[in-house]
Chain A
Amino acid sequence: MKPFKVAIPKSVEQASRFQKSDDSPFIAGGTDLLARIKEYVVQPETIVDLKRIEGMTGITSTDDGIRIGALTTMNEVATDGSVTDDYPALSETIMNAATPQIRNMATIGGNICQKPRCWYLRHEGYSCAKNGGSGCWAREGENEFHAIFDNQVCAVTSPSNVAPVLVAYSALIEIQGGEEKREIPAEDFFITPDQDPGREVLLEPGEVVISIHLPAKNRTKKWSYTEAREKQSFDWAQASVTMLYDRGGRKGDHRVVLGAVSPAPLRRDDLEKILKSGSLDDAMIKKLQMKIGDGSHPLSQNGYKVPMLRGLIAQGVRNISGRKEG
């Protein structure tokens, strides 16, 4: 690595101001950023360490749900009693991700802000639509793990296991830039390349994710998280399906969100409507399977993701129908 300076801010305001003035990247767990520095994909003069800012870790229960500090490690989130009891899909998706070591280091804020895994993007020698150039190498090149939806401009997949689950729970991402705070629904936080090819999340320069709020009103015992990956660890998902059924006990309030098949988590309200239309039986599975590939444009090597999704959603329906009420 090219030696860099480390700025240790005392508050979010300081971190924010410093980053904005000089475009230095934030570092949280470092598991993504350091790898990109080692590959010379980014070569910062200074990095801004968020880890020593007080009040950024831990999970607190509030009247309306739980609030997870952005610097809480993935392992702490996945093993917290309030998460395993009330937001089990979040715990499940984290335990499927990466390795025990990475889950002990990586933070949930870093997880949702991590850069995509496109191998062209992570190679210093390539320039493309995503990093200031034009065109996409993957569309005509090696694209086995790339997106099948929304892949016209740039075919990266959203690498975060956590992201689609946050969308399914309608989590709020709490952000601070300078002294200003704002909350963005997870569904809007993750953006697609046609919105802005240069970023994956709706953060402006200087903005820090400070916490994630999971609303109590969207809890449900009828949930499923299914995913497929080539290796059980050390790998990223090839496709995932998060399903929440009767959120908050409200009949028909369902969420179906696909992960790892498009540049941002893909909420499928057409599939949610089908779920609403009948009982969780084989006929329902058939209907969902028929529909799930709609809108996809597989590239030369990733057409397998469509049948993979069909398998995952079938398992998802079975998981939900197998779960006991309350």
Chain B
Amino acid sequence: MDKKPEEPPEGVSRRHFLKGAGAAAAAVSVAQLPSEVQGSNGTEDEPTILGPGPVPIQLRINGVDGQTEAAPSTTLLDLLRDHQGLTGAKRVCDRGSCGACTVLLDGRTVDSCSMLAIDAVGSEITTVEGIGTPENLSDLQQAFIEKDALQCGFCTPGMVVSCTALLKENPSPDREQIRRGISGNICRCGTYQNIIEAVEHVSRKGGK
């Protein structure tokens, strides 16, 4: 992600913009208005209108602040994959019905396909890429390999994100708690048992 400091688009002064945004300033200090919709943003009585064309969106992803341009109708998943090149989160059902697109929003698991990117503004987004890298795997990612917790691997990024969140909340989950923890992630290959073992393995070693 591009690390440029926040800069208002031409013709919109930051001050004018924030004034118009009123209570919605939290949202828009990040999703700034393109100049063509400037007019609709001038008064206190009218909502701020974004889009339908691209707007600058500021997000904090894996600890790095950055800005990108996308239509406000873009889902967080599409923004991550298509605009940020972060293809760890997978697009499978695109309807909240599989968990392959799971990311963390302020530490909580969400289906990134089922929310708008602009609604992640102001939150800390963590994708599987932020949990570990091939050179520096997290304990859990290492355990997935050791316990053979994947076959095709398509569900794996989402599973890793959900299990990481689970271990953070509860470092020694029992089997039932692990099952509940991954109950929002479907594995088409049926590797659940090995995933549970991978989580137990990390938990026993006190890892994350």
Question: Whose C-beta in chain A lies nearest to the C-beta of B113?
Answer: A34
Q: Which residues of B contact A84 (CB under 8 A)?
A: none
The answer to whether B24 and A38 have CB atoms under 8 Å apart is: no
Assuming the contacts A102-B111, A104-B110, asked whether A46 and B49 have C-beta atoms less than 8 A apart, the reply is yes
List CB contacts (< 8 Å) of B95-111 with chain A.
Answer: 95-99, 102, 105, 108-111
- Distance in angstroms between the alpha carbons of A104 and B97 in the assembled complex: 14
Q: In which size bucket is the chain A interface? A: 35 or more
Let me know if B198 is at the binding interface, CB within 8 A.
Answer: no
Let me know if B12 is at the binding interface, CB within 8 A.
Answer: no
Assuming the contacts A7-B47, A35-B114, asked whether A101 and B102 have C-beta atoms less than 8 A apart, the reply is yes
- Distance in angstroms between the alpha carbons of A162 and B22 in the assembled complex: 33
The answer to whether B22 and A99 have CB atoms under 8 Å apart is: no
The answer to whether B109 and A101 have CB atoms under 8 Å apart is: yes
The answer to whether A52 and B52 have CB atoms under 8 Å apart is: no
Let me know if B135 is at the binding interface, CB within 8 A.
Answer: no
Let me know if B157 is at the binding interface, CB within 8 A.
Answer: no
The answer to whether B49 and A5 have CB atoms under 8 Å apart is: yes
Q: Which residues of B contact A319 (CB under 8 A)?
A: none
- Distance in angstroms between the alpha carbons of A46 and B72 in the assembled complex: 10
The answer to whether A3 and B96 have CB atoms under 8 Å apart is: no
Let me know if A53 is at the binding interface, CB within 8 A.
Answer: yes
CB distance from B27 to the nearest CB of A (A): 5
Stretch at the interface among B125-133, B144-152, B176-184: B176-184
The answer to whether A101 and B99 have CB atoms under 8 Å apart is: yes
- Distance in angstroms between the alpha carbons of A46 and B47 in the assembled complex: 12
The answer to whether B49 and A7 have CB atoms under 8 Å apart is: yes
List CB contacts (< 8 Å) of A233-291 with chain B.
Answer: 233-234
Let me know if A30 is at the binding interface, CB within 8 A.
Answer: yes
Out of A5, A51, A53, A100, which one reaches B183, CB within 8 Å?
Answer: A100
Interface flags for B107-125 (1: CB within 8 Å of A; 0: not) read 0111100111011000000
Assuming the contacts A10-B24, A100-B180, A101-B111, asked whether A35 and B47 have C-beta atoms less than 8 A apart, the reply is no
Let me know if A298 is at the binding interface, CB within 8 A.
Answer: no
- Distance in angstroms between the alpha carbons of A4 and B50 in the assembled complex: 9
Let me know if A29 is at the binding interface, CB within 8 A.
Answer: yes
CB distance from A107 to the nearest CB of B (A): 12
Out of B50, B94, B114, which one reaches A5, CB within 8 Å?
Answer: B50
Q: Which residues of B contact A11 (CB under 8 A)?
A: 23
Let me know if B46 is at the binding interface, CB within 8 A.
Answer: yes
The answer to whether A8 and B24 have CB atoms under 8 Å apart is: yes
Let me know if A136 is at the binding interface, CB within 8 A.
Answer: no
Interface flags for A7-18 (1: CB within 8 Å of B; 0: not) read 111110011001
Assuming the contacts A10-B23, A30-B119, A49-B119, asked whether A101 and B96 have C-beta atoms less than 8 A apart, the reply is yes
The answer to whether B47 and A9 have CB atoms under 8 Å apart is: yes
Q: Top 8 nearest A-B pairs by Cβ distance?
A: A99-B184, A9-B47, A233-B183, A10-B23, A7-B47, A3-B52, A10-B22, A6-B72
Besides the known contacts A10-B48, A30-B116, 12 further A-B residue pairs in the complex with CB atoms under 8 A apart: A3-B53, A7-B47, A7-B50, A8-B21, A8-B24, A8-B28, A27-B116, A52-B23, A99-B96, A101-B99, A104-B109, A105-B115
- The contact sample of 17 A-B pairs, CB cut-off 8 A, is A1-B73, A4-B51, A4-B73, A5-B72, A6-B118, A8-B21, A8-B24, A10-B24, A10-B44, A14-B45, A14-B47, A34-B115, A100-B181, A105-B110, A234-B98, A234-B183, A234-B184
